[in-house]
């Protein structure tokens, strides 16, 4: 019997909602969650390849603890309980020696960061940072100073956009399925697309107006 399991794609940081067909505990097929109108059942090729990842016998299949020196290639298979106890002991040893503030948690941002922040706070450390600390900082600061909120505190309503300007943002060759679906819907509804880029890319090929600029002149 085939079951449908609803989950989140972990193949990149976008984290698209997925529907997974599972038979006898094995993944048979992965598609975008059809109940999510933004996904409409679609998935990027990498998301679909999540199925192949489950079959990859070269990836670690269980927790292992290194034996001997780094690089020696000696590993011991352990249970998840043993692995978690090992990590907890090491972490506790560091905190006993250097204090809880010696621990810093850094992640990619996006979903689940509340869990990470709660965990690091429970350890007694205020030190949490993520990808957003170093990437897209200028966009983040600009959004905060202009709108009073960060760039991720708004979601872009591409579908109902009447004129979308993509400045060096090659949305059709990027990795966000929902955004691509949204822009395609916008085009179907008669929305205009302007693309400003240094390359005639796929997004440019779908644009009503394309401005090919010299590299380095985009801000001007």
Positions in the binding site for ligand SF4 (CB under 6 A)? 9, 11-12, 14-16, 43-44, 46-47, 175-177
Shortest reach from residue 34's CB to ligand SF4, in Å? 14
| Minimum CB distance to ligand SF4 smaller for 43 or for 186 | 43
Residue number of the CB closest to ligand SF4 reads 47
CB 20 within 8 A of CB 5: yes
By C-alpha distance, which of 34, 58, 30 is closest to 44? 30
Minimum CB distance to ligand SF4 smaller for 51 or for 210: 51
66's enclosing H/E stretch is: strand 64-66
* Closer Cβ to ligand SF4, 91 or 135, answer by number: 135
DSSP code per residue over 123-184? TT---EEEGGGTSSHHHHHHHHHHHSS-GGGS----TT-SEEEEES--GGGSS-HHHHHHHH
Please, which residue, 181 or 201, has the CB nearer to ligand SF4? 181
Supply the minimum distance, in Å, between the C-beta of residue 97 and ligand SF4: 39
């Amino acid at each position: 019997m085939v079951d449908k399991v609803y989950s989140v794609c972990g193949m990149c940081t976008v984290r698209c909602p997925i529907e997974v067909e599972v038979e006898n505990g094995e993944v048979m097929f992965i598609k975008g969650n059809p109940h999510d109108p933004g996904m409409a059942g679609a998935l990027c090729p990498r998301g679909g390849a999540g199925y192949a990842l489950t079959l990859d016998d070269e990836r670690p299949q269980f927790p292992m603890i290194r034996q001997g020196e780094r690089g020696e290639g000696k590993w011991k298979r352990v249970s998840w309980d043993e692995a978690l106890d090992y990590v907890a002991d090491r972490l506790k040893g560091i905190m006993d020696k250097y204090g809880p503030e010696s621990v810093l948690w850094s992640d990619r941002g996006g979903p689940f960061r509340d869990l990470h922040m709660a965990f690091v706070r429970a350890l007694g450390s205020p030190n949490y940072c993520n990808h957003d600390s170093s990437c897209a900082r200028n966009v983040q600061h600009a959004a905060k100073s202009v709108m009073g909120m960060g760039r991720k505190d708004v979601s872009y309503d591409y579908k109902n956009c009447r004129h979308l300007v993509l400045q060096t943002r090659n949305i059709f060759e990027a990795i966000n399925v929902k955004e691509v679906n949204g822009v395609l819907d916008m085009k179907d509804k008669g929305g205009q697309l302007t693309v400003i880029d240094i390359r005639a890319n796929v997004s440019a090929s779908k644009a009503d107006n394309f401005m090919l600029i010299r590299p380095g002149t985009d801000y001007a």
